[in-house]
Amino acid sequence: MSNLPYAIVALLCQVLAPVPIGTKRGLFSLLWALLSGRFLASRGAVFPALSALGLVPEEVRRAEAALAYGSYRTSDLVSAWHKAVREAGHWRPHRYDGLHPVACDLVGFYRPHLVGCTTKHYTSQAGKALPALVYGLCVEVGSVGTMRLGVPRLLLRQEADETEARLQSRLVQEAASGLAEDESLIIDAGFSLSDLRSQENLPYVIRMPQNTTARRNTLPDYRGKGRPPEYGEIVRPLPRKHGMRVIQATKPDATARWTEKGRTIKAHLYENVVAADEKPGGKPYRLIVIYDPRYHKPLVLATNLNKTAYTIWCLYRDRWPVEQLPLAAKQMLGAERSFVFGKEARYRMPELALLTGNILSYIAATVPAVATGFWDRCCRPTCGRLRRYLERLIFSELPLPEEQLRKKASITDHLPKGVAGHRRRKADGCASSMPVAA
């Protein structure tokens, strides 16, 4: 056996360090079933995926119980994973003009047939919002070798009575509270600009819609007639069409130009603006419109950073690693479809899949590329190739450290077993106190 299984087992033990002994072994089996792609073959079913590892029925039930009833928090696993990546030294953060990007986004795991699911998330395939379990992600962006990779810092679940807008606000607040002085929050369209501007000393870059407007943060000159102006002049970064009339874009305050891989990129800058419904005197920000010849529509960004347009463009481009986590979890590991219905298990399964997908991507980037077969002559360090290699390993032959992954030696001789363990008694005050089967 090569050294790769030893390294993966040691890394998983670091992630599971905060988990109690009685739950750690079962949770390790579940994570290995995810890493090795067993959930792809079982189409999201937990018991068949665990059974495909070669576990006996008792071990399968113990692993499922760790998922549903284990005494642990996913946030502790995320913190342990973040610490392990930092200590290993392979991952290096990206920096642009002294700023380190931290990306945020929402991801939904669709459960249209889940009874009692009150939360929804929009999907472009259906063209509408469908019942889903929604999570807020906050990742630090960097690289491992030549691969760009985001390491999760926050993983928030949407509560049953919480709207998506409220989840976005909570994600921004918690991400802003943990930002360092040299970090900047990078957010895609859909989030509220007012949530970012309401935070004190929060550096941000956010994508704005194509029809966004703003106002100058200064009053125009009084023309001598009528009521004195109370709002600044309207700023329209892009032209628009209203009926048969074309409304031209506002002339930019400055322009910028740079070359990237043989193509010329232009940027129009609008300085010192406030929201379209605000009077002068509010928190100012900047609008930057970037024209890239590769795309038909320009990119409209809002920021409060006093940096060049090229730096803002580089920061926003590093938002994309946050999309790698759900891609690896859903497509590579098969967690897009899941058959878990417990009140806690339904939330934990996607959380563990997101974390495991990031672990798989990190390991694939740090170890030598593993070829799928003899035909794979120019293999790359991708998580799909590593997953196919892990499928061929026999779980019972893994070098598991028994002192860390062992069964908890609890005394259970005094507890009822079998049918007697499932019997229930009526509450005090009832006419009969005879045991009733569940």
Q: What is the pLDDT of residue 270?
A: 96
Confidence of residue 425 (pLDDT cuts 50, 70, 90): low
- 340-364: average pLDDT: 93
Flag whether 433 is in a domain.
Answer: no
- 207-224: average pLDDT: 91
What's the angle, vertex CA 60, arms to CA 59 and CA 63, rounded to 5? Answer: 85
What 3 state SS string does 228-291 have? Answer: CCCCCCEECCCCEEECCEEECCCCCCEEEEEEECCEEEEEEEEEEEEECCCCCCCCCEEEEEEE
Flag whether 242 is in a domain.
Answer: yes
Flag whether 259 is in a domain.
Answer: yes
Beta-carbon contacts of 359 under 8 Å, excluding residues fewer than 6 positions away, are 11, 12, 15, 31, 35, 81
- 57-69: average pLDDT: 90
Confidence of residue 424 (pLDDT cuts 50, 70, 90): low
Flag whether 266 is in a domain.
Answer: yes
Confidence of residue 412 (pLDDT cuts 50, 70, 90): low
Would you state the structure tokens that stand for residue 332, as one six-digit string? Answer: 């590579």
Confidence of residue 252 (pLDDT cuts 50, 70, 90): very high
- 28-57: average pLDDT: 93
Confidence of residue 418 (pLDDT cuts 50, 70, 90): low
Flag whether 237 is in a domain.
Answer: yes
State which H helix or E strand residue 92 sits in: strand 91-93
Flag whether 249 is in a domain.
Answer: yes
The proportion of the chain whose per-residue pLDDT surpasses 90, expressed as a percent, equals: 66
- 209-214: average pLDDT: 94
Confidence of residue 410 (pLDDT cuts 50, 70, 90): low
Q: Do 148 and 141 meet the contact criterion of CB atoms below 8 Å apart?
A: yes
Flag whether 182 is in a domain.
Answer: no
Q: Which of 193, 166, 100 is nearest to 139 (CA)?
A: 100
Q: What is the pLDDT of residue 421?
A: 62
What is the rounded average pLDDT for all residues in the chain? Answer: 89
Higher pLDDT, residue 134 or 116: 134
Structural domain count, the chain: 1
The region of weakest confidence among 130-144, 166-180, 297-311, 396-410 is: 396-410
The proportion of the chain whose per-residue pLDDT surpasses 70, expressed as a percent, equals: 93
Q: What is the pLDDT of residue 435?
A: 42
Confidence of residue 423 (pLDDT cuts 50, 70, 90): low
Q: What is the pLDDT of residue 411?
A: 65
What proportions of the chain, in percent to the nearest 5, are helix, strand and coil? 35, 25, 45
Q: What is the pLDDT of residue 432?
A: 44
Q: Do 370 and 8 meet the contact criterion of CB atoms below 8 Å apart?
A: no
Flag whether 117 is in a domain.
Answer: no
pLDDT at residue 145 tops 90? no
The amino acid at residue 223 is: R
Q: What is the pLDDT of residue 416?
A: 74
Question: pTM for the whole thing?
Answer: 0.88
How far out from the chain centre does Cα 243 lie?
Answer: 41
pLDDT at residue 399 tops 90? no
How far out from the chain centre does Cα 202 lie?
Answer: 20
Q: What is the pLDDT of residue 409?
A: 67
Confidence of residue 160 (pLDDT cuts 50, 70, 90): confident
Higher pLDDT, residue 5 or 300: 300
- 377-403: average pLDDT: 87
Q: What is the pLDDT of residue 297?
A: 94
pLDDT at residue 1 tops 70? no
Cα torsion at 410, 416, 419, 423 (round to 10°)?
Answer: -120
Phi/psi of residue 43, each to 5°?
60, 35
Would you state the structure tokens that stand for residue 356, as one six-digit string? Answer: 């495991």
Range of the domain at 235: 206-222+230-306
- 158-180: average pLDDT: 93
